[in-house]
Amino acid sequence: MRGEAHQAAVRLEGVSITYRFPDGRRYPAVAPTDLAIAPGEFVALVGPTGCGKSTLLNVVAGLVTPTTGRVLVDGTPLLGINTRAGYLFQQEALFPWKTALANVAVGLEVKGVPRAQAQERARQWLARVGLAGFADRFPHELSGGQKKRVGLAQVLAREPAILLMDEPFGPLDAQTRAIMGDLLLELWSAEKKAVLFVTHDLEEAIALADRVLIMSAGPEARIIGDHPVPIPRPRDTHEVRLTSTFVEIHRTLWHQLRSEVLKGYARSEGKEEPVS
Amino acid sequence: MRARAILLFWQIAVLVLFLALWHFGTAIGWLDPFFFSRPLDVLERTWRDFASGVIWRHLWITLLETILAFVIGSVGGVVAGFWLARRELLSAILQPYLKAINAMPRVVLAPIFALWFGLGIWSKVALGVTLVFFIVFFAVYQGVREVNPVLVANARMLGMNERQMLRHLYLPAALSWMFASLHAAVGFALVGAVVGEYLGSAAGLGYRIQQAEGSFDVTGVFSGMLVLAIFVLVIDAIVSIIERRLLVWRPKAALTGTEG
């Protein structure tokens, strides 16, 4: 499952990111990193706040160009935007002037799907995320959880091979997060996309992923842990937290993560959090 | 609903109080009717102008100038705002000139426009355009440049090309900013028209007021101002209706301001 044997959906080779400030200072955010995600594999990337995990995600998305190294998508070097990837943002990313239906349909329309067909498929996707009756609502008329559902439909409707998620359920309350986690797993198990899920919530990472990567605190953040999660699927993201395997993995990973979080605190004391 | 009725009551009460003070002030000799006229005289004059029909031609001229100034200025502002917002260097070069032109009091342009475009409607339209253009231009320019970067990233991840981003992202964002400046833009289109007429013309509400002033006809001046005020309120109400129809996606609080 590590993607070495067959073609990886996404492979990072020596990817590093250094920020250069206008005054000439340099900040080495991410040290050279190798990473492979197999097709259909769910990988969670956990690390202290501001460690550069979102930056790494943006590199895979093609929104950020790495300072060194390269990204391979299905074996092909990535140039510009990663068109095979769908991206679910932490912040609100729906077009406020489009209804839920239009927000989902637009991703299909720009691909060249005829309007009527795009609307029909958007309607189906809204139903799959449990928003069948909300097609004509504008984003401001939806709750935080409903907006995330529309966002999920918007991304998945385009049928990306790779799903990139940047703390997508971060702004939601605990109950809604749990429900969204289950929904995500349900949709993912039906389509089996490669997933890179960035979060700072270790429990969420273990509950969802096949593999959890731990990232060190910046500068020069690295992946310092790569742990498989041998919990059988299908999982209930809430129930799974009560199993002994979960508790055991959580203990090991937390031990590793804790020291990095403390390091991160020490370094960011009094400093502003780097923009992720 | 009740709060609204109370509000309306007090709004009308202010008007009634003002008119009453004015009326009694002139009746008991505090105010000289030659300089201040009388409210009933103003109403009567206004009524007569409408009844005899002389006012309609002037209203129509002013309305036409206002609409033309608004449409030409807005279209120009949207196009220029859009175009410049996406050209970093050019907008940096032009920035000081735009600010200088915008800071200039437009009244000084009126005689020049009269020279260039004659005393007909087009010199007034030109004056209005110089006012409307900049309001809309700056709003759209700002709107396009400050489009939420997350939305831009999402649009790119959804596979949109430049043209599609223009249509689905930048244009709607800019239009919502344009509508925010719409009331001001319509108001300034009218100001341009009336000031232009006032400074030299043969028709329009500004012309009427100027004529009345020329013959020390205070009643005529106030009557002209009253017609102008009604005219502004009607246009503003129409703009509000259009706004409400086009910006259905906006949260209601943002549209009605502090109300509710």
Residue pLDDT, tens place only, A82-133 = 989 999 999 989 999 999 999 999 999 999 999 999 999 999 999 999 999 9
pLDDT of the residue at A1: 45
For residue range B99-126, what is the model confidence (pLDDT) as tens digits? Answer: 888 888 888 888 899 899 988 899 999 9
CB-nearest partner of A106 from B157, B158, B161: B158
If you count residue pairs, one on A and one on B, with CB atoms under 8 Å apart, how many are there?
A: 57
Whether cis (ω within 30° of 0) applies to the bond prior to A228 is: no
Kindly determine whether residue B159 and residue A107, on different chains, have CB atoms separated by under 8 Å: yes
Are B159 and A154 within 8 A, CB to CB? no
Please answer yes or no on whether A140 and B168 come within 8 Å at the CB atom.
no
A207, A169 Cβ separation under 8 angstroms: no
Contact (CB<8Å) B159/A158? yes
Instruction: Give CA–CA dist A157/A120, Å, rounded.
Output: 11
Mean pLDDT confidence for B25-46: 89
pLDDT at B143: 85
pLDDT over threshold 50, residue B258? no
Q: Out of A91, A96, A111, whose CB is closest to B159? A: A111
Residues of A in contact with B174 (CB under 8 A): none
Range A185-193 contact pairs with CB under 8 angstroms and sequence separation of 24 or more: A185/A233, A185/A234, A185/A235, A185/A237, A186/A234, A187/A128, A187/A129, A187/A152, A187/A156, A188/A42, A188/A163, A189/A233, A189/A234, A191/A156, A191/A159, A192/A39, A192/A40, A193/A40, A193/A160, A193/A161, A193/A162, A193/A163
Q: What is the β-pairing status of strands A68-73 and A76-77?
A: antiparallel
pLDDT tens digit string along A228-249?
A: 998 888 888 888 889 999 999 9
Q: Do B150 and A110 touch (CB under 8 A)?
A: no
Q: What is the pLDDT of residue B124?
A: 93
Q: d(Cα B132, Cα A16) in Å, to the nearest integer? A: 50
Cβ atoms of B190 and B61 closer than 8 Å: no
Q: What is the pLDDT of residue B64?
A: 94
Q: Which residues of A touch B169 (CB under 8 A)?
A: 95
* More confident site: A171 or B9: B9
Angle at A32 between CA A29 and CA A38, to 5 degrees: 110
Q: Rounded mean pLDDT of B218-247?
A: 88
Ramachandran bin of B165, using left for φ above 0, alpha for ψ from -120 to 50, beta for the remaining angles: alpha
Amino acid A44: pLDDT: 95
Q: What's the confidence (pLDDT) of residue A271?
A: 52
**A96 to chain B: which residues are within 8 Å by CB?**
249-250
pLDDT in the model for residue B72: 95
* Of residues B158, B179, B180, B182, the one with CA closest to residue B169: B158
What fold does the segment set B40-256 form as a domain? MetI-like fold (1.10.3720)
The reported pLDDT for the residue numbered A226 is: 92
Instruction: Decide if A93 and B169 are in contact by the 8 Å CB cutoff.
Output: no
For testing contact with chain A, the best of B171, B249, B250 (most A CBs within 10 A)? B249
pLDDT averages per 10-residue partition of chain A, 276 residues: 64 91 88 92 89 90 93 90 92 93 95 94 94 92 93 93 91 86 90 91 92 88 90 88 91 88 72 48
- Of residues B223 and A260, more confidently modeled: B223
Residues of chain A contacting B156 with CB distance shorter than 8 Å? 63, 81
Comparing CB atoms, the residue among B151, B157, B251 nearest residue A87 is: B157
**Beta strand ranges found along chain A (DSSP E):** 10-20, 26-37, 42-46, 68-73, 76-77, 85-88, 162-166, 194-199, 211-215, 223-228
**For B249, which of A83, A86, A96 is closest by C-beta distance?**
A96
pLDDT given at position B260: 31
CB B62 within 8 A of CB B197: yes
Specify the pLDDT at position A233. 86
Task: Specify the pLDDT at position A269.
Answer: 63
- Report chain A residues whose CB lies below 8 A from the CB of B154: 87, 89, 93-94
* Mean pLDDT for the stretch of residues B225-231: 90
Q: What digits encode the pLDDT tens for the residues B147-190?
A: 999 999 999 999 999 889 989 998 888 888 887 788 888 889 99
Q: Which of B150, B249, B250 sits opposite A93 (nearest CB)?
A: B150
The Cα B223–Cα B220 span in angstroms is 5
Spell out the domain ranges in chain B: 1-31, 40-256
Residues B47-99 pLDDT 10s: 999 999 889 999 999 999 999 999 999 999 988 988 888 888 998 899 899 88
Whether chain A has a CB inside 8 Å of the CB on B54: the answer is no
Mind telling me how many Å the CA of B61 is from chain A's nearest CA? 37
How far is A211 from A205, CA to CA, in rounded Å? Answer: 9
Which H/E stretch holds residue A119? helix A115-128
Q: What pLDDT sits at residue A47? A: 87
> With an 8 Å Cβ cutoff, are B157 and A81 in contact?
yes
Q: Is A95 on the interface with B (CB under 8 A)?
A: yes
At residue B29 the predicted structure's pLDDT band, cuts being 50, 70 and 90, is confident
